[in-house]
Amino acid sequence: MSHEHAVRPFVTTAALVCAVVAGALIAVQARINGELAVEVGGGVIAAFISFGIGTVLCALALLGRRDARAGLGRIRSAVRDRSMSPWFLFGGVAGALMVTSQGLVAPVLGVALFTVAIVGGQAVGSLLIDRRGIGAMVPKPLTLPRVLGAVLAVAAVIWAVSDRVRGDAPWWLLLLPLVAGTGMSWQQAVNGQLRQRAGSVLAATFVSFLAGTIVLAVAAGIDVAVMGAPPALPSDPVLYLGGVIGIAFIAGGAAIVPLTGVLLFGLATIAGQLTAAVLLDALLPVADAGLDLATVGGAALAIAAVGVASIRRPGHLAPERVTDSSGASSP
């Protein structure tokens, strides 16, 4: 056995632990952005602040990284010569929708229920993207385990909200995080394409944040024009960490996925999201949106759904194409 094969299990295990932590950070981000939205009087303003901070930090990091700036040039060249779709530049818009939903919906639904809805959207979105393929990612067939996993994910969301139908959290509030979860699947796939073309995690992260910030700047401007300017910004520095967490998640995903594969990374991050979300609602509940049995059961079923969707028979593993910075792809 070679040294590389001997150490790979340990590297993979460490990467999965980091992926679980990254997923848990997303649940923490939902709580932070939800509280920031309450303080500034609107989820759109809170999302703009979160994304704006992330964009500024990425831009400052680019000043000291020549390789990352070169990566931006490679992305621009790929779009100009049409070897990469310009739509890949707008993955951050889906991230903006997710962060906005955190501020608008998470304070009402509670972090656990919000995260279950996000996971449901991710499961369905991943199924559709796998079936279609995107960029250098080869399409994957609609196998029974994948379809069953998506159905179980939807059932998980329904179970999680079953005890709240008669409460103050209307069903329609689940639509935004469900759509946001679907968009997250597309964003992860698109950011992976950007990272491959740029050869730089930082360059791909900056492009994603910049797109989201531009959209949110327009939305925030409309919000201020209609609703008026928000009150004074909160003084608690913790409320401004949402953008930092977003950078860690996007950049961490680009670094970890090559070690674990997309499937294991998704499973680990979802497990981290749900575990942290349940703990947050149990230990630090938001208003009346505390933890209940249905939410815990829905979270557990969502985890099982992702596990079922990942089942593959030996001999039916389709290799993914890998695209280098020049645009060439190989299996």
pLDDT tens string 129-158: 777 777 666 677 777 776 777 777 777 767
| Residue 145 CB partners (closer than 8 Å, separation 6+) | 308, 309, 310, 311, 312
Average pLDDT over residues 264-284: 73
Average pLDDT over residues 204-222: 91
Nearest 5°: CA angle at 263, between 316 and 329? 70
Q: At 297, is the pLDDT very low, low, confident or very high (cuts 50, 70, 90)?
A: confident
How many CB atoms sit inside 10 A of residue 86's CB?
Answer: 10
- Partners of 322 in the beta sheet? 330
Q: What mean pLDDT value characterizes the chain?
A: 77
Would the pLDDT of 290 be above 80?
no
Among the listed residues 147, 134, 125, the one whose alpha carbon sits nearest the alpha carbon of residue 189? 134
Please tell me the predicted confidence (pLDDT) of residue 91.
Answer: 86
Q: At which residue do the structure tokens 């009346």 appear?
A: 288
Please tell me the predicted confidence (pLDDT) of residue 6.
Answer: 44
pLDDT (tens digit per residue) in 44-65: 888 899 899 999 999 999 998 9
Would the pLDDT of 317 be above 60?
no
Quote the CA–CA distance of 210 and 142 in Å, as a whole number. Answer: 34
Please tell me the predicted confidence (pLDDT) of residue 296.
Answer: 77
Please tell me the predicted confidence (pLDDT) of residue 137.
Answer: 66
Would the pLDDT of 29 be above 70?
yes
pTM of the model: 0.75
- Looking from the CA of 137 toward its CB, the CA atoms found within 13 Å total 22
3-state secondary structure of 323: strand
Nearest 5°: CA angle at 70, between 64 and 73? 130
Average pLDDT over residues 203-221: 91
Please tell me the predicted confidence (pLDDT) of residue 325.
Answer: 39
Average pLDDT over residues 270-293: 69
Would the pLDDT of 106 be above 90?
no
**9 vs 38, which has greater pLDDT?**
38
Please tell me the predicted confidence (pLDDT) of residue 329.
Answer: 40
Average pLDDT over residues 311-326: 48
3-state secondary structure of 134: strand
